[in-house]
């Protein structure tokens, strides 16, 4: 079995506005990042604001390309990017990748059902998908996924009228319909109240433990990462400064990683 994720020496520089006419400077958002997920795990990506969490997550799907000489980034056995260029089989990798973002998860004017059914798109003839000509089996599959995430009763509602938590669950349903083998979730609970946030995190745990889906999730809240993830990758200034079990992180280590931001890094889960 190939690893779910293999990242080798991934660096990403962004251009900084020149401070003076002769100073075209760059800033390294990711600096020689390497890690592997060999079996379905729940990896929590943590670190202070600007440490590179979203940049790393987006690089895994090829939405951000690393610097020349970086990589490879191999996801589900397929090269997503290498040497600053997309790999030839990036589309195949994306077909098995579920994405959950903080916002803009769903197409607002489409129903929740249609949004979840979009998870079928990589697997059925494009024209049939475009016209929403789902088979009865596909409809059942979509409804089962909406039921799993607890919002089947909202199936016909337009996505833009759903609450934030329902939209996150809709995105997770789409990943279930897609039969995603790896879910990349970028701040999926940042805008949610603690009770809804807990439900969304529990769904990700369920997909990982009961369906063998790998999960990589960026989280601002250290306590959520430690409670719901089995492995933590901590980034600081674009470098991995911790890669290990959640219970290996003690308050001193976290203070070192977060510096003065440590106070804001906790969202004490009331449960
Ligand atoms: N398109 C871009 N152009 C220039 N700089 C960028 C760009 N995207 C990200 N950066 C910079 O790269 C660094 C890492 O950003 P990133 O969004 O990955 O951090 P993060 O750890 O996810 O932060 P946060 O927790 O605040 O969301 C930041 O300093 C950010 O300003």
Q: How many domains does the chain have?
A: 1
Tens of pLDDT, residues 133-147? 889 999 999 999 999
Residue 63 within any structural domain of the chain: yes
Sign of CA dihedral 49, 55, 60, 66: negative
Residue 30 within any structural domain of the chain: no
Section 151-168 average pLDDT: 92
Determine the atom of ligand 1 nearest the C-alpha atom of 15: 4
> What span, in angstroms and rounded, lies between the C-alpha atoms of 189 and 220?
9
| ipTM passes above 0.90 | yes
| For ligand 1, atom 1: residue with the closest CA | 14
Structure tokens at 84: 């600053």
> Is residue 193 pLDDT above 90, yes or no?
no
Distances (CA, A) of 266 to 47, 58, 93, 208, 224: 12, 24, 34, 24, 8
| pLDDT band (50, 70, 90) for residue 11 | very high
**Total-model pTM:** 0.91
Ligand 1 center to 53 CA (angstroms) = 8
Ligand 1 center to 20 CA (angstroms) = 23
Per-residue confidence (pLDDT) for residue 268, from 0 to 100: 63
Residue 74 within any structural domain of the chain: no
> What span, in angstroms and rounded, lies between the C-alpha atoms of 261 and 86?
35
Pocket lined around ligand 1, Cβ cut-off 6 Å: 14, 29, 47, 49-55, 220
Residue 252 within any structural domain of the chain: yes
Tens of pLDDT, residues 59-111? 999 999 999 999 899 999 999 999 999 999 898 899 899 998 877 789 999 99
Residue 25 within any structural domain of the chain: no
Residue 11 within any structural domain of the chain: no
Percent of the chain, pLDDT > 90? 65
Section 113-132 average pLDDT: 85
Tell me which of 52, 188, 261 to substitute to probe ligand 1's pocket, judged by most ligand atoms within 8 Å of the beta carbon.
52
* Domain range for 248: 40-68+85-265
Tens of pLDDT, residues 236-248? 999 999 999 998 8
DSSP-derived secondary structure for 84-138 = TEE-TTHHHHHHTEEEE-SS--S-TTSBHHHHHHGGGGGGS-HHHHHTT---HHH
CATH number at residue 177: 3.40.50.300
Pairing label, strands 73-75, 85-86: unpaired
């Amino acid at each position: 079995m190939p690893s779910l994720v293999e990242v080798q020496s991934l660096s990403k520089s962004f251009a900084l506005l020149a401070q003076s006419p002769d100073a075209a400077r760059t800033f390294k958002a990711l600096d020689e990042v390497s890690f592997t997920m060999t079996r379905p795990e729940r990896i929590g990506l943590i670190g202070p604001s600007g440490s590179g969490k979203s940049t790393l997550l987006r690089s895994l799907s090829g939405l951000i390309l690393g610097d020349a000489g970086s990589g490879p980034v191999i996801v589900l056995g397929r090269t997503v990017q290498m040497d600053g260029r997309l790999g030839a089989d990036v589309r195949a990798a994306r077909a098995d990748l579920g994405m959950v973002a903080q916002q803009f998860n769903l197409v607002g004017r489409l129903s929740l059902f249609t949004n979840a059914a979009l998870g079928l798109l990589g697997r059925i003839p494009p024209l049939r998908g475009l016209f929403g000509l789902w088979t009865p089996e596909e409809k059942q599959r979509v409804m089962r996924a909406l039921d799993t995430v607890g919002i089947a009763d909202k199936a016909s509602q337009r996505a833009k009228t759903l609450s934030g938590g329902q939209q996150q669950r809709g995105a997770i349903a789409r990943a279930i319909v897609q039969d995603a083998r790896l879910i990349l979730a970028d701040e999926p609970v940042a805008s949610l109240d603690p009770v809804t946030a807990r439900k969304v995190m529990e769904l990700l745990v369920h997909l990982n433990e009961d369906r063998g889906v790998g999960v990589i999730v960026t989280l601002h809240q250290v306590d959520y990462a430690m409670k719901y993830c089995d492995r933590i990758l901590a980034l600081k200034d674009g470098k991995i400064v911790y890669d290990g079990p959640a219970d290996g992180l003690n308050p001193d280590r976290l203070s070192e990683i977060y510096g003065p931001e440590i106070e804001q890094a906790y969202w004490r889960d009331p449960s």
